[in-house]
Amino acid sequence: MCNRYRPASVTYVRDVFGFTLIKEREPDAYNTNGIGPWQNGPFIHRQGLDIGQWGLIPWFSKTRRPTGKLGKPISTNNCRIETVATAPSFKAPWARGQRCLIPAADYDEPYWGTGRNIWWRFARKDGEAWALAGIWNEWTDPASGEIVVSYTMLTQNCDDHPLLSLMHKPDPALPPDEQDKRSVIPIERKDWDTWLNGSIDEAMALVKLPAVDLFSHGAADPAQAVPLPIKRNEE
């Protein structure tokens, strides 16, 4: 899963992704230095570029910070692709085809190879931004009537990936091939239109783990596979 990433700028999105329509929201209403859950970020859907909360608000939530039917907080910034069609928080936007692309300059994951958390930052070797698969939704605030836009990143199992499987704290009770470690789902440029406009089956066919050589310093040796570890304020 991903809990922090740096978004591409609006200018980059306009120039590279080719979307110029921004719905009626402030184009600078997000932090290009890094986005965490519940903060605003940019995403692209069929109608163009939008800015909304990273943490999808399901229809049954009573508050902008998503809550379940009993009023307890729930985490909705990531969604498992295997259950997106059935999970109560996500199944309606998925069924409506509300898929999106999340433009990310890079994203952070915790490396546990030394027995403690060291944050690694993942960028593309070609210098382009990632286009990460997501879904989005519109929610009406019951108190004010305001329409709030939000989105979530979809994740996939990466237990078999030579690099991504090294991220996240391992569960010592489970074998390596049953850890169910999670990673984001990059969509390549040639597939952007299919992800946004294709059928559910066509979209699902695009879900796959990225090749190691897509990453900065892409190498089979994990020690060379990413830039130097980064320090995060929350460490």
Tell me how far apart the terminal alpha carbons of the chain are, to the nearest angstrom.
Answer: 18
Q: How many folded domains does the chain comprise?
A: 1
Say if 235 falls within a structural domain.
no
Structural domain includes residue 233: no
List residues bridging with 152 in a β-sheet. 135
pLDDT of residue 114: 78
Mean pLDDT of 66-81: 87
Q: Evaluate whether residue 12 is within a structural domain.
A: yes
Q: What is the DSSP string of 69-131?
A: TTS-B---SEEETTTTTT-TTTHHHHHTT-EEEEEEEEEEEEE-TTSS-EEEEE-BTTSPPEE
DSSP 16: I
Q: What is the pTM of this model?
A: 0.88
How far apart are the C-alpha atoms of 5 and 20, rounded to whole Å? 23
**Per the domain annotation, does 203 fall within a domain?**
yes
Mean pLDDT (whole number) for 26-31: 65
Q: Give the C-alpha distances (Å, rounded to integers) separating 58 from 34, 127, 171.
A: 24, 35, 30
164: CATH: 3.90.1680.10
Has residue 230 been placed in a domain?
no
Q: What percent of the chain has pLDDT over 90?
A: 52
Q: What residues make up the domain containing 39?
A: 5-224
Q: What is the pLDDT of residue 221?
A: 43
Mean per-residue pLDDT of the chain: 85
